[in-house]
Structure 1
Amino acid sequence: MTTGTKKYSIFKRKGYLWFTLAFFLVSVVLHWYFGWKVFVEEQMQHGQPVITSDYISEMMRDTMENWQSEFLQLIWQVAGLAFLWYCGSSQSKEGDDRKEEKLDFIIRKLDPERAEQLLAAWKEKYPDH
């Protein structure tokens, strides 16, 4: 800890990201695992040999179909907007910059003697990203 502010590890600061990544990886692994079980069963029912390259092609096709229907339609809209807002795209920063400027103006009007000291302390405590 430094000057009253807490320093968090990247795992705590980005906890949602790590959880989502882990959830995604587990779901992909399970999708491919159960896909393998079904593929082997179907090949045996039809008396066909189990060829790994055929399985990979089939699963890549299925995975891409899922991504195309789900990711491109819904997930990108949600995740893309959240990512751009979080990263500070020009659209999301406009409102924040405007609000900060207004608040700084109000603070300077309400307490002109201590305003600069307060603003400097807050800037140190809550630095810009």
Structure 2
Amino acid sequence: MRKNLHRRGRPPFGKAYSFAIITFALFLLSWIGQFVTQLIEVSNNAEEHGQVFTWADFVPQFLSATFENWQSEFLQLVWQAMGLAMLFYWGSSQSREGDDRLEAKVDALLRERGIDVEAIDAAIVDDVSGRSKDRDPAAESTR
């Protein structure tokens, strides 16, 4: 049954979520790195002042540093992602309006060369829907 799902266009889990897996792994490695370096720093600092290292002192400092990093980095990232999504949704010049303009240019070039744009569009729709596999839109447009 699992192979059947792959044939329907669903990639395997590792391929479908590889970006998320790699991002999570990098996050985990950096967080562990922060933990170790901060643990060494707090331990050395306590030793310099003649105090004993305690986890009760370390954990709040570690969590505070973690949340400060998350606040500065993730708020910036969220703003960039949400801002781009809003601009794309509202139709900025870099979103779908640019695609429409590009398509109009291609259609104009095709018409200039005497190629039937509507026949090509119909053939593409047929190909996507699976109706015709042997049609060549370029050959039909020159008939």
TM-score range, shorter chain: 0.5 to 0.7
Q: What is the match of residue 122 of structure 1? A: 128
Q: How many residues align?
A: 115
Using CA pairs below 8 Å that are at least 6 residues apart, which structure has the higher relative contact order?
Answer: 1
Q: Which has the larger radius of gyration?
A: 2
Q: CA RMSD in A?
A: 3.8
Seen in structure 2, the aligned counterparts of structure 1 residues 23 and 62 have a Cα distance that, compared at 3 Å, is same
- Of residues 49, 62, 66 in structure 2, which corresponds to 1:59? 62
CA positional deviation for 1:61: 0.9
Q: Which structure 2 residue ranges, 5 or more long, are not aligned?
A: 1-5, 104-115, 131-143
Deviation at 1:2, TM superposition (A): 3.0
1:77, distance to aligned residue in structure 2 (A): 2.3
Which residue identity lines up with residue 58 of structure 1 in the other structure?
Q
Q: Is there any run of 5+ residues in structure 1 with no aligned partner, and where? A: 104-109, 125-129
In 2, distance between residues paired with 1:80 and 1:70?
Answer: 14
Q: 4+ runs of 1 displaced by more than 2 Å?
A: 77-82, 110-113, 115-124
Letter in 2 for 1:21: F
CA distance in 2, matches of 1:111, 1:33: 63
